[in-house]
Structure formats: C-alpha cells, structure tokens
Amino acid sequence: MAKKCFFTGKGPMVGNHVSHANNKKKKRSLPNLRSVSLKLEDGTKVRVKVAASTLRTMKKYS
C-alpha cells in the first residue's frame, strides 16, 4: 500500500538532516495518514488512506 493520500495525493517528502557539524544525510518525512471508511451513495463502504489535514478540510465543508 502506498503512503499517499487518496484525495490530495500527498506523499513522502525527502530532505536533509543536518547535524551541528554540518554533516548531511537524507531523511524521509511521511504524511500523517489515517485509515477512514467512507460510505458511498449506493451504500457500500470503502476504506481509504487520507491525510489528517484532508480530514480537517472534509469536516469543515461537510
């Protein structure tokens, strides 16, 4: 399963972890994904992975 938001497509980001001695190594920051079950119009339930920020937006406009 991909670590990607179903609606917005937010995925992992890559950056540098920089120490005090200015040594750089790659780090990977993952999105805050939540597994949510949504009810479709025909009554079936579907489980999708949604970012927490997307959930907040969905609650705001629903």
For the domain 13-61, what is the CATH superfamily, name and number?
Ribosomal protein L28/L24 (2.30.170.40)
pLDDT of 45 reads 97
- The model's pLDDT over 8-35, given as tens digits with 9 standing for 90+, comes to 999 999 999 999 999 999 999 999 999 9
pLDDT of 62 reads 85
- The model's pLDDT over 31-50, given as tens digits with 9 standing for 90+, comes to 999 999 999 999 999 999 99
Burial of 49 (0-12, 13-18, 19+ CB in 10 A): middle
- pTM more than 0.85: no
Straight-line distance from the first to the last Cα atom of the chain, in angstroms, rounded to the nearest whole number: 27
pLDDT averaged over the chain?
Answer: 95
Where along the chain do its domains lie?
13-61
